Amino acid sequence: MTTLTASRQRHLPILATFALLVVAYVFGATQYEAFGDAQVVLNILIDNAFLLVVAIGMTFVILTGGIDLSVGAVVALSTLVSAKLVAAGVPALLVILLVLVIGGTLGLGMGAVIHYFELQPFIVTLAGMFLARGLCYTISVESISITDGFFTAMAQTPVQLPGGMHVSVSVVIALVVLAVAVYVLHFTRLGRTVYAIGGSEQSAMLMGLPVPRTKIAVYAISGLCSSLGGVLLAFYTLSGNALHAVGMELDAIAAVVIGGTILTGGSGYVLGTVLGVLVLGIIQTLITFDGTLSSWWTKIVIGALLFVFIVLQRLVSRRTR
């Protein structure tokens, strides 16, 4: 098989995701008049900005062939720490900095345990999930409202766009994170090493690439993105709650896989993750517009799509060998 043909085959999952997104949008626009409004798409971004940031961090991990099950719990912990500290009078910017340090440190610790003790990422990040969720309940078993002026301004100040449309500040932050992730993955040594580890960790080591440092770094990045996602969720809900983001790790994994990143690592694009998040968001929006279906249908459809895309990835990987 030629290199050009193999490249086209690798792009097949992300093309399928894009086609699915277009079909879903066209279907919604023809079925519901208001669905065709461009603001509907922007609202999907507004409602899922925190998930996009978390999924970007997850993309780094999955590209190396790993997994991070702690992201949802870290998001919840970040909302609670933010709410508790601002309620205690700590300046909002300092609170956000501390939350990012906590998330990054937790990710760094899990990455170090995974590498130095040669443990499975599934087990280590599962332990991280229990740790972070347990810490949530030690902070508070009840929801804590956030009334801080800075958080309120971030939540309620729209960013105006041409045509009378708008997005939230959280969307702008998520897009900045996306731009940084694209640059890191495609234009830096760290990004090239991430792809190399996912392709073959043994080969990457033989090439003299900094495999240990990179494996630890991707979990730190995932922890950092999770804590930032928690801050954005705090902006969105203006509350901290131990029950926030339950199951978000599965939504993030689903977005990454539906976006075309192969679970075994080495192939995928962070822009595909954006498409994956939009697909999840548009499915939820279609069900909301319908009004007769239970919200659980969102999970059913996502599960079916995830199964289809995993099978598609398997078929593509076989044909590119």
Tens of pLDDT, residue by residue over 190-243, are 999 999 999 999 999 999 999 999 999 999 999 999 999 999 999 999 999 999
DSSP annotation of 144 reads E
Please say whether the beta carbons of 174 and 52 come within 8 A.
Answer: yes
Assess contact for 222 and 103: CB atoms under 8 A.
no
Question: Whole-angstrom Cα distance, residue 233 to residue 223?
Answer: 15
**CA 261/CA 263 separation, integer angstroms:** 6
203 within 8 A of 265, measured Cβ to Cβ:
no
What is the domain extent for residue 102? 3-319
* Cα–Cα dist 308/310, whole Å: 6
The answer to whether 4 and 300 are in contact (CB under 8 A) is no
292 vs 25: CA distance, rounded Å: 19
Residue 92 DSSP SS3: helix
Give yes or no for a contact between 60 and 221, defined as CB atoms under 8 angstroms apart: yes
CATH number at residue 163: 1.10.3470
Output the six-digit token pair for 304. 């079916």
What is the rounded distance in angstroms from the CA atom of residue 176 to the CA atom of residue 9? 30
Looking at the structure of the chain, the number of domains it has is 1
What does each of the 321 residues of the chain score in pLDDT, given as a tens digit?
Answer: 454 455 556 677 788 899 999 999 999 999 988 888 889 889 999 999 999 999 999 999 999 999 999 999 999 999 999 999 999 999 999 999 999 999 999 999 999 999 999 999 999 999 999 999 999 999 999 999 999 999 999 999 999 999 889 999 999 999 999 999 999 999 999 999 999 999 999 999 999 999 999 999 999 999 999 999 999 999 999 999 999 999 999 999 999 999 999 888 988 999 999 999 999 999 999 988 887 777 778 888 888 888 888 887 777 666 655
Contacts for 77 with CB less than 8 Å, ≥ 6 apart = 102, 103, 132, 133, 135, 136, 139, 227, 230
Of 267, 69, 243, 231, give the one whose Cα is nearest residue 150.
231
> Would you call 140 helix, strand, or coil by DSSP?
coil
In this structure, what DSSP letter does residue 11 have? T
The DSSP code sequence of 207-269 is TT--HHHHHHHHHHHHHHHHHHHHHHHHHHHSEE-TTTTTTHHHHHHHHHHHTT--TTSS---
